[in-house]
Amino acid sequence: MASLILLILALNFYFLKNAIALDNYQLFLSAPHANDPLREYLQEMRNYMPPKHRAFVVAVEQRSRLRDFVQRKMRQFPELKDLYNDCLLLIEQFRTKHLEFAARYIHQQTAEAHNDTSIGTGDTPFMKYLKKHRDETSQHLLS
């Protein structure tokens, strides 16, 4: 039983660290997600980060003005807009692939095991939130 608990904790950490890393990229791009329980969960998980890591994430969140900078300079340097949008599109593509993996390996497998397929890591309705976060990413594209 102890090894099962350790495995569950390790898997939670693995998925959490990937989610936090991806959200850090979005924070750097000044493209945050709207408030929802998954965002709140990710913010709560900052409490478990090493203090310097947590301080870095908070600093990026509070100080990044990249989107504003690109918007101010994109007439002078049109390629900035394209580069910024390319970054967001890459994150969106990653989120789409992550969503596909979640559907295939988590949602489908738990359904076969007769588990509740609507609840994932951190007791979140992961499919709903993964889709929402993917869709929100493209809403930050500059036109």
List the domain range (segments joined by +) for residue 26.
2-138
Look at residue 2 and tell me whether its pLDDT is greater than 50.
no
How many domains does the chain contain in total? 1
Q: How far apart are CA 37 and CA 93, in angstroms?
A: 23
Percent of the chain with pLDDT over 70: 73
Band (31; pLDDT cuts 50, 70, 90): confident
68-87 tens-digit pLDDT: 999 999 999 999 999 999 99
Structure tokens at 22: 């991806």
39-46: average pLDDT: 81
Whole-model pTM: value is 0.74
We report the CATH number of the domain holding residue 27 as 1.20.58.480
Percent of the chain with pLDDT over 90: 27
Indicate whether 143 belongs to any domain: no
Do the beta carbons of residue 120 and residue 102 sit within 8 Å?
A: yes
Count CB-CB contacts under 10 A for residue 17.
12
Structure tokens at 92: 């969106």
17-26: average pLDDT: 70
124-130: average pLDDT: 78
Greatest alpha-carbon pair distance for the chain in Å reads 61
Indicate whether 122 belongs to any domain: yes
